[in-house]
Each structure stands twice: as C-alpha cells, then as structure tokens.
Structure 1
Amino acid sequence: MGSVKDLEILKPPSERPGIGRFHFSDRYSVFDYGEMPDLLENKGKALCLLSAHFFELLEKEGIATHYIGVVEEGKAKRLDELSEPTNVMEVKLVHVHRPERRGDGYDYSIFQSLKGNFLIPLEIIYRNSLPEGSSVFRRLKRGEISLKDLGLERMPEPGQRMERPIVDFSTKLEDVDRYLSREEARRISGMSEEEFEALVKLTLKVDEIITRETEKAGIENEDGKIEVAFDENRELMLVDALGTPDECRFSFNGIEMSKEVLRRYYRNTDWYRRIEKSKGEEEWRKIVGKPPRLPEELKKAVEEMYMSACNEIVGRKFFDTPPMKDVMRKISEFMEVYDG
C-alpha cells in the first residue's frame, strides 16, 4: 500500500467498490523517502483509532466515506464496540488509475473518460494558519499561485491565523508531490466546475469537524489533508485516513504535534543534506542512502505523542501513556535542541 500502512484486499473493486483492510503499521516516513529504519510502537493503532473516530463523526454529519469499521477478532466493529486497540480498519476499495509518465511530465488524459469508482488524483489541503516557512509564501512570490487562487484579498503574514480556511491542492500519484493551482487541479482530475466546487465545500466541512473535535482536547488544527474518490455513482466519498497527526498539523500550547520534530532531527544530518541535493532525480532514494536511526529518548517521546493524542481526542484511554501536556513538554525540549 505504501510506506506506513499495508492493504489487504478481501474483494477487489469492479464496477462497484471492493472491500479491503488497512493495516496501519508502526513505520513512518519523512521527506517522501519511504520507510525509515525505526518503528514507533503503537503508532499504527493510534492512527487507526483516530481516523475511525473522525470517519464515524463525519458519517453522522451525512458525509460519505469508505469506512466500514475497525476490525477485532476478524469482524468489523464500531469504535465503541472495541475491547482493546486495533491497527486494522475495513474499508471500501476503489480503482486507482495512475497518470502515465511522459518525459518530464505526466499524462492525466485517462481521468477525462472515467465515470466513477476511482480515486481522484489529488491531495486536498486545508490551511487554517500559515506558519513561517510555509510553501504558500514561496509559491506566491514565484507567481505559481495567486491570492485569488487562495481566496485572499491581501498578502498574508507568517504566523497568520486565517479568517477563512485556504483550500490548496497537490498531486497524489506522481513520484514527488507538487503543488497545483486550482485550475490545474480541476483539469487533471477531469472534474466539472460544479464537482470541483463540491470538493472544496467538502474539504471545508471536514476541516470544520476536525477543528471542533480537536479543540475539545486543547489541540489546534492548523492544517491537514484529505483524499477523495468518486463512488460508483460519481458521488464524492472520503477515503484513506484523516484527522491524525500524520494527515494534519496539530499543535498543543503552541508546540507542533506531528512528525515535524523528526524532520527537525533529520535536517541536522548529512543524510538530509544529500536529499536537498538529489531529491527529484531518478532513483534519488538510492542516491541519498539509508537514514540514521533515531535517538531512543526522541523515539519514545514521539510514540507517546501519538498515543496521548489518540486518548485525548477520542476521549477514551486506549493507551497507558502520560498526559498530553507532559508529552508535549518533552517534544518542545527536543525541538529547542534541534533548532539550536
């Protein structure tokens, strides 16, 4: 399936959705590299339970998803029926059609003729704030996007909390993700203007629900991404995973609770310096070589971050881990060291 979860196919998709199971692993990935050398204990279970929590909330709001249930003793159950944490989720499956690589670009013409039951080839990003160093500022400066694309009337400031969320787009099925203007996103996905506007509205609704729920745990939902498919009737349906520290940039008392602390650690390594030189080249992952292992104390703190986030957002103590405020204090101390 990918670098951080595996897919078990129970029934492949045909004209109708199939059925499969995601096995959320304890693997992690940064900088698009793929599987890293360490495992983060219980990360897979925490992500599975968090994503299930949000899928069930979204369904109550009338939003279609591919979620069937979480799996215990071989059966798909609702979250409140679980007796212990699980890392397995049962979902509906759709077709994944990959654009064809042509020279330096990709041919998306297949998406002009598809009717339904397929993954839309986009990552859809919502941004509730723009931290210093956000790609948005670089792209605005280079003219790759406009204020109008972002629904803004004036140039934003670093650290600014947006009055209205920004909806942004990137590729999903290319070797290295790249950001897209709204028009290019609509064009390569083969969507009509009406469908694309519905996609934007869906993204804003998902953002609203995740923000509402995380606020109850004292967590700020700064930005996040979703993936969407067309079902067999060409209706929008949320897929993959959402509402987790891997899909969102959460913060707690101003401390970022995501893989950012791991990225900051790696940015101080020779391995990352090789990535800066080689990323985007053919077989760049082989060129940069194997990443170093994590320091044990950092690894434990990040494991606790995932588990405490799950406990406090879902509102059930699935894991025996310190309170989030204590965990995030440790994460903050690591951030200070790596920034120094």
Structure 2
Amino acid sequence: MNLSDLKFMYEGKAKKLYEYDEDKTLIYYKDDVTANNGEMKDNMKGKGNINKKFSVYFFKMLEEKGIETHFVEDVDENSFIAEKVDIIPLEVIVRNYAAGSFCRRYGVEKGMKLEFPLVEFSLKDDTLGDPMISKDAALAIKLTDEKTINYLKDQALKINKILNNYFLEKNIILVDYKLEFGIKNGKIILADEISPDTCRFWDSKTKESLDKDVYRESKGNLVDTYSSLTRRLGL
C-alpha cells in the first residue's frame, strides 16, 4: 500500500497514522526508537516490523479471549488497519514486579514481586513527559469519569491475567507494561500497541532484559533482542 495515497493524520515517536477511510486508520510502525522522554533517539532497521508483528499477534489473541481491540486487518510488514477511535488521554500502566521508575519513586529493589498486580495511570502528554496521575486527580481535572476509569482498571487486570499466563508458559516474566484505550461508538476498546517498546520482559531464569531496557541501558543490540524474543514466541 502506498502511504502517499492516504491522508496523513498524526506522527508519534514510534508510529504514523493515516486515514484509511471514514471509520478506519492505517497505523505505520516506524524504525525509530526513543527512550527517556526522547533524550535518546535512533533509527534501527527492522524494529517497526517487529513491533507491528508483535502487536497484531497479541491483539488477535486478546480478541479471542474476549477483549475488544481496535485491530481490523494486517496490511504489510510495517502496517495494519485499525478502527478509528478517540484515544482516552490516560496511559494505563500495569506492574507485576518493581522496575524502572517505580523503583526510583518508592526506593524499592528492582525485581521485587508485588503483592498484587498494580494498575497506575499517567497523563498522556509528551510535552509534560507523561507524568503519573492519581485517579482522583484525573477526575478532578475532568480527564475522564469514574465509570470509565474503573472500567480501564478492570480491563487492564483482565488483560494482565491473559498475558501473564501466556508468558509464563514461555518462561518469560511480564514485569510491567503500558496500555492505551480509545472510544468507538460509545464503547471503550484496547488501542495503540502491545510490543517490546511498551512492555518490560525478563527471562524467568536469568532475569535478562528482553525489551527496550536493552537500549535504555546500553546492554545490547535492540533489534537483535526483539528478533530473539519474537522467535522465542514463535511469531
């Protein structure tokens, strides 16, 4: 598909969105990689294809488990067609283990298993660095309503159970990850992506990073790490 034939809508750090038709969007996954709120930037051939392949696989799997997503149809190496949604301006973060900013914020040891899956929210705003936001603050500034934010948490926990069971069978720890949701015809559905860019994975035996921490912490080649992960999952 020739992207120049489509109306350009939006460009983020890792994706470009084009209008496919009145109700659908074409999502193109770029080879760009960023970290630390854009302080680190690179372009790595093949990275977009891996993230697209990963997202398509898990959107399909979650659909089979009763989680409605924006995925419609696969297109090519770097693109798929999705329902056009109004993105809810909250990132939903699910944590099973302590890592990254959580450790810095609370002074806990990396790798500590949490007593229960923790759902947090951050404000979806690149200019502010996507800051953490409490449920009450989100309601107070009218980002959303209580029914919606409770539904987001409920869906996140359902998704977490499905993904945790899947990755445990592959001897992979799902440490934490980010979800985004959108509204289509009044219904809230899972949107954006599920990829090694938005998830933190560790090998269950070695605790080796299998995600973007390899890039953040200069621990190896990002595309090689992502490629190894997809092979391990049989994608």
For 2:183, the aligned partner's letter is F
- 2:37 corresponds to: 32
Aligned length: 222
Equivalent AA in structure 2 for residue 122 of structure 1 = L
1:172 paired to 2:140: no
Q: Structure 1 residues 222, 43: closer, same or farther in 2, change over 3 A?
A: same
Letter matched to residue 308 of structure 1: S
Q: Evaluate the alpha carbon distance shift between residue 206 and residue 186 of structure 1 in structure 2; reply closer, same or farther with a 3 A threshold.
A: farther
Identical counterparts, % of pairs: 28
Contact 1:27–1:35, Cα closer than 8 Å, also in 2: no
What residue is the counterpart of 1:121 in the other structure? 89
Instruction: Give the C-alpha shift of residue 67 in structure 1.
Output: 0.4
**Corresponding position: 1:304 with 2:211:** no
Higher radius of gyration, 1 or 2: 1
Partner residue, 1:217: 170
Residue ranges of structure 1 left out of the alignment (5+ in a row):
13-17, 73-85, 95-117, 142-155, 267-297, 317-340
**How far off is 1:264 after superposition?**
2.0
Kept after mapping to 2: 8 A contact 1:170/1:185 = no
Is this contact kept in 2: 1:126–1:207, CA < 8 A?
A: yes
Asked if residue 245 in structure 1 is aligned to residue 211 in structure 2, the reply is: no
Q: Deviations over 1:175-204 (max 9, x none)?
A: 021111121134445433232211101011
Select 2:65's aligned residue among 49, 61, 64.
Answer: 61
Give the residue type in structure 2 aligned to 1:232.
Answer: N
1:305-331 deviation line (CA, Å, top 9, x unaligned): 111212222x24xxxxxxxxxxxxxxx
Give the corresponding residue for 2:74.
70
Q: Tell me how far 1:34 sits from its aligned partner.
A: 7.1
What do you get for the CA RMSD once the two structures are aligned? 2.2
Q: Deviations over 1:60-101 (max 9, x none)?
A: 1221111002114xxxxxxxxxxxxx211110112xxxxxxx
What TM-score does the superposition give when structure 1 sets the normalisation length?
Answer: 0.60
Structure 1 residues 186 and 210: CA distance shift in structure 2, 3 A: farther
Amino acid at match of 1:40: M
Pick the aligned partner of 1:3 from 10, 13, 17: 13
The amino acid across from 1:8 in the alignment is Y
Is the Cα contact below 8 Å between 1:3 and 1:34 reproduced in 2? no
Secondary structure of the residue that 1:3 maps to in structure 2?
coil
Deviation for aligned residue 1:4: 1.6
TM-score, L = length of structure 2: 0.85
- Report how far residue 129 of structure 1 moved: 0.7
1:266-322 Cα distance to aligned partner (Å, 9 max, x none): 9xxxxxxxxxxxxxxxxxxxxxxxxxxxxxxx4xx3211111212222x24xxxxxx
Report if the CA contact (8 A) 1:71-1:88 is conserved.
yes
State how far apart, in whole Å, the 2-side matches of 1:312 and 1:88 are: 22
- Any idea what SS the aligned residue of 1:245 has? coil
Q: How many Å separate the matches in 2 of 1:24 and 1:91?
A: 13
Q: What are the superposed Cα offsets for residues 158-186 of structure 1, whole Å, 9 maximum, x if unpaired? A: 53202310001111124021111121134
